[in-house]
Every structure is written in structure tokens, then in C-alpha cells.
A = this chain, B = another copy of it.
Amino acid sequence: MEEKRFSRPLSLRDVKITDDFWKQEMELVREEIIPYQWKALNDEVEGAEPSFCMRNFKVAGKQNKERREQGEAFEEPAYTFRGFQALPEDMEHLEDKFYGFVFQDSDFYKWIESVGYSLVQHPDAELERIADEAIDIVCDAQQEDGYLDTYYIINGKDKIFSNLRDHHELYCFGHLAEGAVAYYQATGKEKLLVAAKRYADYIICHFGEEEGKCKGYPGHEIAEMALVRLYEITGEEKYKELSYFFVNERGKKPYYFDREHPEEIPKGQEESLRYEYHQAHLPVREQEEAVGHAVRAVYLYSGMADLARLYGDEALYRTCERLWDSIVKEKMYITGGIGGTHIGEAFSFPYDLPNDTAYAETCASIGLAFFARRMLQMRADAKYADVLELALYNGILSGMALDGKSFFYVNPLEVLPEACHRDERKFHVKPVRQKWFGCACCPPNLARLLSSVGMYAYTESEDTLYVHLYVGGRIKKEIAGETAEIIIESGYPWQGNVSVRVGGTKKPFTIAFRIPSWCDDYRIDGVENARTEKRDGYLYVTKVWEEDVLRLDFPMEIRRMESHALVRENIGKVALMRGPVVYCMEEADNGRNLHLLSILESAEAETEEREIAGVQVKGIKINGFRQQIRGGKNEPLYHTMNHADREAVQLHFIPYYTWANRGENEMQVWTRLEKG
């Protein structure tokens, strides 16, 4: 780790996204998700399970008001257990109680974060007014002492922080901090940021190394990276230190979660590796393999990467590298999906990447993007940006329908709808996207990521602008008191040609362009008078930029990808990619029983223009075969082999992220390869 190469995302207001592709996604967030989610937070979506989110804040605020008015006469509620999800007995007559999941507060925090990003790209006074009023409601719920979690405020604060493993208090705090920072950066308004700081300060009084303080850490990680954001915007060391404390305590023995739940300690197994699900099975620096709940894992690793950078902690950095490799070399789908099993929504063992029972939660790929960006901040190496790009254009985008109105939690690589309906082992795999979820993590997570894509595409250090992704945009960069403007235009992900216009300063600086790993033969024009250097997959171009125009070209060939030979599922099969885009076949284009289809080894693939649910994309066509089903239903199950009963057919592939936009049907990413 050489500190001088550290970079940071650009300030939100210094990036304006102009990219055709991403602008379309961001507009879906603005026009579909944000308004829909606001209705959901307020229980105004007809036919949907109520969220109770804003209602809980109001009930807590009312309680606060009563406390203030009644003074000493006010009777604090004593804790009554209400389980992980509290539902009203009678929907028609709601009481002043907490309803919904223990983590329901976080729905608002995710929403306000998206709103912040969206307002930067698309100012909207009415939306900002709604947001400000909502912030007032939330802040009214905050206690005098700074505590802010409606589950415990309403149910009784005597039990706060007593079930860190399951009750998501620190998770909700993390989302509050992320949302507050984003809204402050976008609008300059401090109210929610102050609330987040006050709650953080309350937490600091409760947790820490000092004697008498609680030695716990979050059951569901996110506070780790959120506290770093709070530190980076406020400059207050204590927030960074609390994050470091959480990370350092995790996995120490005896397990903190065992101290919380002594009744659950299995007899005779005190020294075993429990809590893999929570990444709390070992002290973090001893962890070698990415395990457990995949979203929690990558949220933790993202925080660890932040801290490794801030503390120059080599051991933590090496751990992040190891865990990165564990994911990327052994546990990641070709789509950038992670989580091979639905049991615990978790990583499976190395190379176990089943296509049809995959979990590959949208949120997990989003978390992988968080982790990648933070690794890039420490060292610009194209290996991180390659994965970031892969996840963004595939496993993340597939989480949302092309109209922004329905969502996948689970992103399988092979789907037979009959199996999803009839085989309990695949009930978690949905063949069509769902409208919204009671436990709504993926849609708002998508909203906040897609509307902040500029924070992933570019980072900067004092004298360098890093272009990790070729997302079109207008960027302002401070160079020793002057402001350079960089305008990037690209036809990504369909065309590999990029133009970069730079000007506005007399000071020399560097632009580092990532060379995608999928491109063997790139070209760059317009750097004749510059100093160039290639390092770790980046081309560093340094000069005094005087209204320069650079042209980069990354030819997008159709690639046949194969897996590491230890991925049992994919042996003898290939997947098609072009540029950063992974392709798949759908029944809508290729008929039923996709497993009968194979690609002819000697065939040449070609692109074709396609329209999927009104959206123009590049498809791929290639010759192959369809194995015949002889005799239909009456064919015996097993018979002596006879030869090559197959028909020549043309196969049609579409971008993976566009699947399931034409009704319920089969889909498959990996296809057998056959000789002619």
C-alpha cells in the first residue's frame, strides 16, 4: 500500500452524468422507484403489505412530545418482546405501537440517500420539500439523548443493544449515516446529518475499548463503512475509531454473540467456528475465505477496506486482498453475482456455483461494487474495476425490470419456471420480477447505487483523475486552485469508442484510463504530446491539458467464456460476452427446453439489433443445434445411445440484464459447446 496512490470519489456535485445508458437507469430511479418507495414508506400502495416505516417515526415522535409535555409524569414504556416482525392484530385499527420488521427504519434512510443523489443530477424542488418534511418527522422521533431506533423507542428502551446479533439497531444506524451524508452533500442541509452524528455520539458512549463499555459489534454489517463516511464528511476521528473498534472486536473469543445468547451455545462446541453467517467466526485478520451471508460479508469487507486505507493497516489490507481473491477467484458468478446458496443467503464452498439454485442477491452484487470501489481507492488496479463493471452491467442491473417497476432479489443463471413452481429447492428462484417486497432491501439499494454511479466510475487524488468505468459525464476537478473540466462521451456498453475532452487549467495533471481486461487490442489517439505510462491495467496520461480531445477505442469482440475447470456446473459449456455485457438465451427467442440447445464450436457469432420491451440493445446470434426429443412422452427414460439426433438452428442471445422482461420463461447463461 503506497499512500500516495490513494484516491477518493469525486464530490457529488462535481459529477454530472450524461451517459445515455446510465441516464436512462437513473431516470427510472427518479420517476419510478423514488415516488413508489415514498408511497410504500407511507403505506399508500394499494394491495401491498404496509411498511409502517413513516408511521413508526410518527408514533415515536408523538411519544417524545408527550414526554416533553408530561415531564416527570411520563411513563417510559418497558420492553415487551414483539419478535422480528410485528404485525397489527387489526389492520383497520392501528394502535400507537411499532409495526413491521425490526429494521424498518432503514427503509427511509435508503430512500433519503437515493433522493440525495437524484437531486444532484436532477434538481426537483417538490421532491426536496417532501424530503425535508420527512426529515422533520424522523428527527422528531430522536430521543433527547440522541438514540434513534423506533423499534426500541416505542417498545421500551430498557433493552436497547441487547440483541445486536438479530435486531439490526446498528444496521439502521449505518443506513441513517449513509443517507444523512448523501442528503447533506446533495443539498447542503445539515438537519439529518446532525441527527446521525448525535446518534453516533450516543453509540460511542455505549461501545468501545474502555472498561465498562459494550464489546459488541453489528449483527448485520454496514455501520463500519457508514461511520467512515461520517468521519470523512465531518473530520471527526471518533467515528473512524468506532468503526475500527467494531471491526477489531468481530470474531474474538469468547464470541460476543454467545454472551448475548448464552442459551444457544451448543454443548461441547464452545471452540468451534460458529457465526460464519455473520463473518464473526474468526477475528477478521484471520479470515481466509469469504463465508456466510453474502451481503453482510461484502458490507463488512467494504468497511475493512476503508479502515485499511485510513489506518494504513497492512494486515487488514492483506485480509481484504485475500477475501477479494476468495470471492473473485472461487465464489463469483460470471454476472458478478455472489452467494451460491439460498441457505443463509450465503457463499457456498469454493467453485460451488450452481446456476439454477443460485442466490446471487442483487444487494450482494451491489455490496461487491462497494468493496471494489474501496479497493480501487487504495490501489488503482484494473482487476477491481473489471469486477465492478461486471457486477454493474449484469448482476446488479438484472435486479430491476427495464421499466423500473419490478425487482429480483435472486439472480439465477438458469431458470426453468416449472422448477420454481414445483421444486421446493428452487422456491427462492422467481421466474419473474416481483413488484415490491415487505423486506425491501434490493429495490432501494438499487436506487441508491444507480443514482450514484458517478461515485464508482471515477475517483480522484490530488493530481490524478481515475476513469474506472467509461460512463459519459461532465466532471470538475480541482488542480491546485484551478478547475479542470473533463467531458467523457461513450457508446458503452454497446460501443467501445470513447471521447474525452479536457480543458480549463494550465496546470499539468494525470488522467488514468482503465484498460478493460476484456480488451486485447485497444487504441488511444491524441496523446502524442503527453507522458504515458501503463501500470496495473491503467494507462496514466499526464500533460498540460489545453482543450485536448482524446479518443480511446476498445473493440468489443464477442467472447466465448469458459469457467475454471473446477466449476462443475459449467464443464463443457460456454457463456457469451461482449464488452462488459454477459449474454443469455431466453425461451421467448429460442423455444422451450433451452438445455437441448448447444453452440456449434466452429460457428461465428454476430451481433444483431434487438428491441426488448421497448429498449434497444445489441443481441447476438450464432449457429448451433437443438437435440431432438424422440417419441415425446412415450420415449423410455433410458435407452441405448443412438447418434446425433439433432437439428441445426440459429441461437439468439440477449443481454443477461434484460431477461424476464417478456413474461415468464426459461433462461440460461451457460450453453453446451458441440463439435459439428
Contacts and interface: CB of A to CB of B under 8 A. Distances in A.
Contacts of A630: 565
B561 A634 contact: no
Q: Secondary structure of the A side of the interface? A: mixed
Contacts of A341: 423-425
A348 to B, nearest CB: 6
B641 A343 contact: no
Nearest to A595: B568
A357 B344 CA distance: 18
A598 B641 CA distance: 16
Interface string A311-338: 0000000000000000011101010000
This chain's copy number in the assembly: 2
Interface stretch (A127-135, A157-165, A414-422, A508-516): A414-422
A596 interface: yes
Contacts of A627: 565, 571
Contacts of A637: 328-330, 332, 334, 563-564, 567
B572 A572 contact: yes
Interface in A519-574: 559-568, 571-572, 574
B596 A638 contact: no
Contact of A638 (B349, B422, B561, B633): B561
Nearest to A575: B638
Contacts of A571: 595-596, 627, 672
Interface residues of A, number: 54
B425 A425 contact: yes
Interface in A20-38: none
A629 interface: yes
Given A349-B419, A352-B423, A329 B565 contact: no
A259 B595 CA distance: 45
B638 A334 contact: yes
B596 A343 contact: no
B572 A672 contact: yes
Contacts of A422: 348-349, 352
A93 interface: no
A561 B640 contact: yes
A639 interface: yes
A48 B639 CA distance: 44
A636 to B, nearest CB: 7
B595 A348 contact: no
A85 interface: no
Contacts of A638: 334, 561-564, 575
Interface string A567-607: 11001101100000000000000000101101000000000
A4 interface: no
A100 to B, nearest CB: 23
Contacts of A635: 329, 564-565
A675 interface: yes
A629 B566 contact: yes
Contacts of A334: 637-638
B562 A416 contact: no
Contact of A675 (B419, B423, B636, B675): B675
Nearest to A672: B572
A234 interface: no
A329 B571 CA distance: 28
A565 B416 CA distance: 15
A329 B636 contact: yes
Nearest to A637: B564
Interface string A65-105: 00000000000000000000000000000000000000000
A628 interface: yes
A96 to B, nearest CB: 29
A563 B348 CA distance: 29
30 contacts: A329-B633, A329-B635, A329-B636, A334-B637, A343-B425, A344-B424, A348-B423, A349-B418, A349-B422, A349-B423, A352-B419, A352-B422, A357-B425, A416-B568, A560-B641, A561-B639, A562-B641, A563-B637, A564-B636, A564-B639, A565-B630, A566-B593, A566-B629, A571-B595, A571-B596, A571-B672, A572-B572, A572-B598, A575-B638, A641-B673
Interface of A: 328-330, 332, 334, 341, 343-344, 348-349, 352, 357, 416, 418-419, 422-425, 559-568, 571-572, 574-575, 593, 595-596, 598, 627-630, 633-641, 672-675
Given A352-B423, A416-B568, A565-B630, 17 more contacts: A328-B637, A329-B633, A329-B637, A330-B637, A341-B423, A341-B425, A344-B424, A349-B419, A349-B423, A425-B425, A559-B640, A561-B638, A563-B638, A565-B635, A567-B637, A571-B627, A675-B675
